[in-house]
Copies of this chain bind each other. A is one copy, B any other.
Amino acid sequence: MTSARPDADRPVDGCGAQRPTGGAVTVDEAERWARAAWSALAEPGDVVAGALLDALGAVEAWRWLLEAPHRPPAHLDGLGTELARGRLVRAIERWTPRAAVLAAHGWGSATPAPEVAPFVAPGTRGGPAAVHVLVPGDARWPVGLTDLGAAAPACLWVRGDPDALADGADRPRRAVALVGARAATAYGERVVADLAGGLADAGVVVTSGGAYGIDAAAHRGALVRGGRTVVVAAGGVDRAYPAGNARLVEEAVATGGAVIGEVPPGALPTRSRFLQRNRLIAALSQVTVVVEAAWRSGALSTAHHAARLARPVGAVPGPVTSMASAGCHRLLRDGVAVCVTDAAEVLELAGPAGAAAPEPGDPRGPRPLDGVGPREQRVHDALGTRRGRPLEEIARDAGLTTRETATALGLLELAGAALRDASGWRTHA
């Protein structure tokens, strides 16, 4: 997708979004609010949007999109591969109606759109509860997000301390994701609270998804010990989901933590946004630990995202008689996760404080699935790692029909991200 330059006679250098370079870069405010508009337009994890922002910059990409319906149908001829052109055409089709509505509501100008202005206006809401919009190039942009490649969010909406997750070279901060089942047991809640407390004592930020069960116990465990915790929301940061955890979220925000989202305030958490949110938790954390998870669980998806980003993954074992630990044992058996039993072992996975994240292009770094869609991502998550899995199993785990799964597998195979062996489909890893 990165080879597609939709407007090839326009110079790309200099007008693209600045890539984070490790130091602070002054970000153009028009670019910031154009990225905010893209975060309202494109669904989380839309790699076509990500590639377009990388290639043109958000301001230019927005302008180009609004003009697209008025260009001759053949304007993309000869650009990029046929596959990339096809995907861009379909993306324009899905973006255009929503872009028109957003533009009519003032999105995509050089200033905040009216509907989010009250959240982001300095001083209006005052103090740490105001919403910040971070974009690549900001000193506080978490460098770990860069590993997501084209799937990186257009911007981050941060309610609370925007420093909470800053992990740049100048202010190294460690974050560990503690995730798990909503239907947690008393054992799981006790263990995750202990882990979170131990991590807080070590100055580590605890990230999680703000859900009931393990997530809530993780946030609470960090707060009880005076630590910072970050809630990664699937919807807008102005609301808590579930509402029953609203007080917990406010406490996180009030104590040096934050609630972070990639869609604007007011946006609803949808099913696909929950799935994409998991990649964000993984990318924002140096280590992801699954405490309790059923055999099929969103927490496993977070773990697989972390593994794909070449981040260490831990799993807390539990009784084999408890279905709430079955997903953890599965991660251990599959070699995706290392067995961890206390905070010290989690810290060991995180490595020494201030250890630099791998630079992009570093061979230790990730190999993101460049240019594949969310459906392919889900299918990729369900692939075997050491040996192939049958189509039916993959379809079941990905929550897709076998026909959809087969199509996605074909794309992944073409992209070199899936391999067929005697027992089925697996990743190359």
Contact = CB atoms under 8 A, between A and B. Distances in A.
A332 B321 contact: no
Interface string A305-327: 00000000000111111000110
A341 B326 contact: yes
Given A318-B320, A319-B318, A320-B317, A339 B345 contact: no
A261 B325 CA distance: 39
A173 interface: no
Contacts of A340: 333
A64 interface: no
Contacts of A345: 333
Contacts of A190: 321
A187 B345 CA distance: 24
A332 B317 contact: yes
A179 interface: no
Contacts of A339: 317, 329, 332-333, 339
Contacts of A51: none
Chain A interface bracket (under 10, 10 to 19, 20 to 34, 35 or more): 20 to 34
A191 B332 contact: no
Contact of A341 (B191, B316, B329, B338): B329
A342 interface: yes
A339 B337 CA distance: 11
A320 B333 CA distance: 17
Given A326-B341, A339-B339, A187 B333 contact: no
Nearest to A339: B332
Chain copies in the assembly?
Answer: 2
Nearest to A335: B338
Nearest to A291: B320
B318 A191 contact: no
A102 B265 CA distance: 89
A341 B320 contact: yes
Contacts of A319: 187, 317-319
Interface in A330-354: 332-333, 338-342, 345
Contact of A320 (B191, B320, B321, B326): B191
A102 to B, nearest CB: 48
Contacts of A321: 187, 190-191
Interface in A164-205: 187, 190-191
Contacts of A325: 317
A399 B319 CA distance: 31
A135 to B, nearest CB: 40
A291 to B, nearest CB: 10
Contact of A317 (B191, B317, B338): B317
Contacts of A326: 341
Nearest to A326: B341
A286 to B, nearest CB: 19
Contacts of A320: 191, 316-318, 341-342
A333 B319 CA distance: 17
Contacts of A329: 317, 339, 341
5 contacts: A316-B320, A317-B332, A332-B339, A333-B345, A339-B339
Given A317-B329, A326-B341, 17 more contacts: A187-B319, A187-B321, A191-B321, A317-B318, A317-B319, A317-B320, A317-B325, A317-B339, A318-B318, A319-B319, A329-B341, A332-B332, A332-B339, A333-B339, A333-B340, A333-B345, A339-B339
